Amino acid sequence: MSKYRAYLRAVLITAEMTLRQNVADMFILFAILFQPLIIAILALWMLQERGGDYAIFVVVGSGMSGLWSSLLFIGGNSITSERWTGTLEALVGSPLPLQIVVFGKNLAQVLQSLGSMVVSYLLVVVLFGLDVSVAQPGAFIVSLLLTVITFVCFGLIIASVFVLNPDVQRWQNGLEFPVYILAGFLFPIALLPGWTTPISYLLSPYWAAQALHSTSSGSGDFSQTLLAWGMMVLSSVIYLALSKKLFDYVLKKARVDATLGMQ
């Protein structure tokens, strides 16, 4: 039990340090605050003839875009940045598992990215004067909590893959908008070709978007929300198990091959 308390303390300390570093990073502030604002303004402009019912959909969708951008660019580089600054070897050599450190980093990024929804909400209310309310507050909070968990776990996969294969990292910019589309952040995936639907089902951001959209707008029945919750929990368990294997391979590259610092 003391080991797990130590892990929890390490996660919280890592998250706090990451948040302090991010405050002065303009790229992070752009990804979390300004980019979702631009997306929200464009979406509201395109949907202005549909009335205020779409306002909460835009708030959630633009907020999800900030979550994904933060996870892809900032969480994905959580190990790579340590390699660039020459501290990765020290982290690997410490008694604390590298997976715990990256978990704390990703937790900070995802929690900070929730500010995207707050900023989008203020934009909709103050600038556009639309009435925005959450139809199912309790279920929405549960959905938001599960979204944070599944995004953090997904970030473990992204971070380890990026450090193991730098060629994948070069596709970062190309991975951003396809997930916006396939996960249905701002429009239903029913508008996409049928062959893309199985791909959407494999993405935990899709189930997060489904849960947040349905509980915020009150659309759909509770069984659909339960399905989305279950898929997020299942995805998180799979991500944790897979990331354990990937981080073991990262440690092998550090301790056996001595190639972890190379790119």
| pLDDT (tens digit per residue) in 123-154 | 777 777 777 778 888 999 999 999 999 998 99
Which two three-digit tokens encode residue 224? 């659909």
Sign of CA dihedral 106, 108, 110, 113: negative
Taking the C-alpha atoms of residue 14 and residue 188, their distance in angstroms, rounded to an integer, is 36
Alpha helices by DSSP H, 24-114: 26-29, 35-46, 55-69, 78-84, 88-93, 98-113
The vertex-95 CA angle with 71 and 28, nearest 5°, equals 20
CA-atom Rg of the chain in angstroms:
19
Length of the chain: 263
> What per-residue confidence (pLDDT) applies to 34?
78
Taking the C-alpha atoms of residue 62 and residue 38, their distance in angstroms, rounded to an integer, is 9
Percentages helix, strand, coil for the chain, rounded to the nearest 5? Answer: 80, 0, 20
Residue ranges, the chain, pLDDT below 70: 1, 47-53, 166, 169, 254, 257-263
Please answer whether residues 211 and 232 qualify as being in contact, where contact means their C-beta atoms are separated by less than 8 angstroms. yes
Helix (H, G, I), strand (E, B) or coil at 32: helix
Taking the C-alpha atoms of residue 31 and residue 27, their distance in angstroms, rounded to an integer, is 6
Which two three-digit tokens encode residue 216? 């915020």
CB within 8 Å of 167: residues ≥ 6 apart: none
Please answer whether residues 128 and 37 qualify as being in contact, where contact means their C-beta atoms are separated by less than 8 angstroms. no
Q: What residue segments make up the domains of the chain, in order of their start?
A: 2-256
Cα 110 from chain centroid (whole Å): 6
> What per-residue confidence (pLDDT) applies to 249?
82
First-to-last CA distance in the chain? Answer: 38
